[in-house]
Structure formats: C-alpha cells, structure tokens
C-alpha cells in the first residue's frame, strides 16, 4: 500500500539502456582447477555459477563505449546531444584522465562534460543521483550514466575467499528530461566512512606510495573481510530501499521489481525478505556475472528491459552497497 505522500513527479527518465560484457567465461569448474574450492561451495554461499573476465589489453573504456553506443541508439540520442557523461568506476583505464573522457573522445560527444565517480559498488547509483539532480536543476537535458568495472585484474587468484566472487563488465543508461509521470522517481545516496579497512584496494593510490627506489609498497589486489561486509550489507540495503521509496512517495508494497547490486544471492534474498518483497520480484543475474561492482545494476537494467521482465509503468527499486561503506537507492518507472 502506498504511503499518503504524493508520488514525486519525475524530472528525469531513463531513455535507453546498454551493456557490454567480455566473451570469456570463467566457470566455477574452471576455478576448481585454480584454487581449493568447489562449485557447490560457490553456488550455495554466493549464487554465482560463472563470471565474465576481460582479456589482456582490454580497457574499461572499451566496454563503456560499446554499452554507451547501444544505450544511445535505443534512446535515439546522438552523442553531440549529450550534456554530460558520468562513469561510476573503481577500475579506471588510467589514474588520469578520467575514463569518462575516453568515452567522450570515442563517441565524439563534443558538447558533454565527462567525469568519473569513485563510490565502489554504489558508483552507478551515485552517478544516477548526480544525473537526476543536474537535469532537475535545469543545467542539462541529456546525459550518459555508466557503471563499469574490471575487477578480475585486481583480484588475487590465489585467494579463494575473493577470487570466486568478482567479474567484469559495463552498463550504460541515457538519461533525458522526463515528460509525464514516468521516469526516475527518486535517488538516494549515503556513505559511512567507518569501514574503509574491510574492503579496499590500495593499487596505485598514494597509500601504496612508491619509494625513492621506485618500489611499490602497497597491496596490488583487492582486499576484503567478507564476513564483516556481510554483517552490514542487509541492514544498509534495507535502509537504502526504504529511503529511496520514501522520497518517491511509495512503500515496499508498491515495488514490482527489486534490482539489487549483485554481490551475493543470500544478501539479496535476506534484503527482500526484510522488506516484505517476494523472491519472484527480485531481479537476479549473479549466476552469470558474479559481482561486477558498479556495473551490476546497469547490466541488470539492460537485461531486464530486453528480456521483457522490467515493463513500462512498473515500479523498479534499485539498491546498492559497497566498500567504504557506500550505499544508494533509486526508484524508476520506465
């Protein structure tokens, strides 16, 4: 049942969706040959059966560009019409410039302003939040929002606790001004600043600064205390859904589809249960892609739109949670 608040009038809408994932599949059976694990353990504990992995030489921007072209074609928007390109990623092509700049260059989106957002698995929803706000303020009419990650290159394939979880890919949406009652009904984001030690990657950051001899001192790979992350995930995802629904003037009972960040099937099921959303209304594709961080929601939106699950007029609630911690929610009516 809806709350008594009026349903918020959307200012922006998603006009097109696209995705690009690598062709190479790494199955649980493949992983059994690499680390001490089993298909049974991975499936039961995470819901993952396989994930896509990039090849040497691939770049995050390559996948962004493919996903963007499909989203633009579906929206009927030309690259020159774009006012902004916002990319949520923690695995950029380079330290600088922003990977969104390479997307701008390849698309020849010469009227856009392009930048990256670093918000771990919430990166796409953080970017969508900005897109909605910019359009609502009247500062822009059309933009591209992406979530893309290459996580397997920063994953330690000798560590069974993490290497079974992650995958690579990109998703994109074109956001335009809304007309009528369809569109982005709300966006919501948050961060905790209390858990940076449980999920992080020093990589080429200054915390792993190179000494005068040029020797890197930081850890190369993603580090995660999975149990610690798990403990907080459901509570924060439930809060994210409730906040986003409340801003939209809706409740969990109004939701036709919950589209959660695909981190772990158990987390998704427990979150839906606490919200009172039945399992058949939870969009799941983690079995095919693993955890693709900020790419997981736009990939799910693309698949759900194109397989006919996410229909026009339905209420779709997206929620994410990631390292930091960061979190976010968005309520969309296509």
CB of 284 to ligand UT7, least distance (A): 14
Minimum distance, C-beta of residue 317 to ligand UT7, in the bound complex (Å): 18
From candidates 226, 247, 251, 287, binder to ligand UT7 by CB under 6 A: 226
Residue 221 touching ligand UT7 (CB under 6 A): no
> Catalytic one among 64, 291, 317, 318?
291
Options 12-20, 107-115, 202-210, 227-235: segment touching ligand UT7 (CB under 6 A): 227-235
Residue nearest to ligand UT7 (CB): 226
Answer yes or no whether residue 229 interacts with ligand UT7 by CB under 6 A. Answer: yes
**Quick one: 131 or 268, whose CB is closer to ligand UT7?**
268
Under rule CB under 6 A, which residues in 250-269 are in contact with ligand UT7? Answer: 263-264, 267
User: Coil, strand or helix: which one is 231?
Assistant: helix
Nearest distance in Å: CB 183, ligand UT7: 27
Report whether 123 contacts 89 (CB < 8 A): yes
Q: Is-contact 218 207, C-beta < 8 A?
A: yes
Backbone angles phi, psi at 139, to 5 degrees: -85, -15
Q: Is 291 a catalytic residue?
A: yes
Shortest spacing between CB 86 and ligand UT7, in angstroms: 20
276-300-62 Cα angle (round to 5) = 155
30-59 residues near ligand UT7, rule: CB under 6 A: 37, 41-42, 45-46
SS3 assignment, position 216: strand
Binding residue (CB under 6 A) for ligand UT7 from 54, 68, 148, 233: 233
Nearer to ligand UT7, 87 or 144 (CB): 87
CA distance 184 to 35: 43
Whether 211 is a known active-site residue: answer no
Contact between 11 and ligand UT7 (CB under 6 A)? no
Q: Which stretch binds ligand UT7 (CB under 6 A): 80-88, 127-135, 177-185, 225-233?
A: 225-233
110 vs 235 by CB, closer to ligand UT7: 235
Query: Could you say which residues in the range 105-144 bind ligand UT7, by CB under 6 A?
Result: 121
Cβ proximity of 86 and 102 under 8 Å: no
Distance in angstroms (rounded) separating the CA atoms of residues 128 and 84: 12
Counting contacts by CB under 6 A, is residue 218 touching ligand UT7? no
What pairs with residue 20 in β-bridges? 170
The answer to whether 87 touches 293, Cβ cutoff 8 Å, is no
232 is an active site residue = no
Instruction: For residue 227, state whether it binds ligand UT7 (rule: CB under 6 A).
Output: yes
Which of residues 40 and 307 has its CB atom nearest to ligand UT7 in the complex? 40
| Strand ranges, E, within the chain | 12-20, 25-27, 50-52, 84-88, 113-117, 142-150, 168-177, 183-195, 199-200, 223-224, 257-260, 316-322, 324-333
Dihedral angle over CA of 219, 157, 161, 230, nearest 10 = 70
The answer to whether the beta carbons of residues 59 and 93 sit under 8 Å apart is: yes
> Token pair for residue 75?
């929206």
Distance of CA 328 to the CA centre of its chain: 10
In the bound complex, what is the minimum distance in angstroms from residue 237's beta carbon to ligand UT7?
9
Q: Identify the active-site residue in 28, 64, 163, 261.
A: 261
CA distance 107 to 80: 8
Q: Which of 49, 154, 230, 284 is close enough to bind ligand UT7 by CB under 6 A? A: 230
User: Which residues are paired to 25 by β-bridges?
Assistant: 52
Active site (catalytic) residues = 121, 261, 291
Interface with ligand UT7 (CB under 6 A): 37, 41-42, 45-46, 121, 160-161, 164, 199, 226-227, 229-230, 233, 263-264, 267, 291, 321-322
């Amino acid at each position: 049942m809806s709350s008594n608040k009026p349903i918020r009038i959307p200012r922006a809408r998603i006009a097109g969706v696209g995705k690009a994932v690598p062709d190479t599949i790494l199955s649980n059976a493949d992983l059994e040959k690499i680390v001490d694990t089993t298909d049974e353990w991975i499936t039961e504990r995470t819901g993952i059966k396989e994930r896509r992995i990039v090849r040497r030489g691939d770049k995050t921007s390559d996948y962004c560009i493919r996903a963007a072209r499909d989203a633009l074609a579906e929206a009927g928007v030309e690259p020159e019409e774009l006012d902004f390109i916002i990319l949520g990623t923690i695995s950029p092509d380079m330290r600088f410039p922003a990977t969104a700049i390479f997307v701008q260059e390849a698309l020849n989106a010469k009227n856009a302003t392009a930048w990256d957002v670093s918000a771990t698995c919430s990166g796409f929803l953080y970017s969508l939040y900005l897109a909605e706000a910019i359009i609502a303020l009247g500062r822009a009419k059309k933009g591209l929002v992406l979530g893309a990650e290459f996580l397997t290159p920063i994953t330690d394939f000798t560590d069974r606790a993490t290497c079974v979880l992650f995958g690579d890919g990109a998703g994109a949406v074109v956001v335009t001004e809304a007309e009528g009652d369809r569109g982005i009904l709300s966006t919501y984001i948050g961060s905790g600043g209390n858990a940076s030690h449980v999920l992080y990657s020093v990589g080429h950051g200054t915390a792993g600064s190179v000494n005068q001899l040029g020797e890197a001192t930081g850890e190369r790979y993603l580090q995660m205390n999975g149990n610690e992350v798990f403990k907080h995930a459901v509570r924060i995802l439930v809060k994210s859904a409730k906040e986003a629904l409340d801003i939209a003037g809706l409740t969990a009972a109004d939701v036709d589809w919950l589209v959660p960040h695909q981190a772990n099937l158990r987390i998704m099921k427990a979150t839906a249960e606490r919200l009172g959303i039945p399992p058949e209304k939870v969009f799941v594709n983690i079995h095919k892609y693993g955890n693709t961080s900020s790419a997981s929601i736009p990939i799910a939106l693309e698949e759900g739109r194109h397989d006919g699950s996410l229909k026009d007029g339905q209420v779709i609630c997206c929620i994410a949670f990631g390292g930091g911690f960061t979190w976010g929610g968005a309520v969309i009516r296509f």
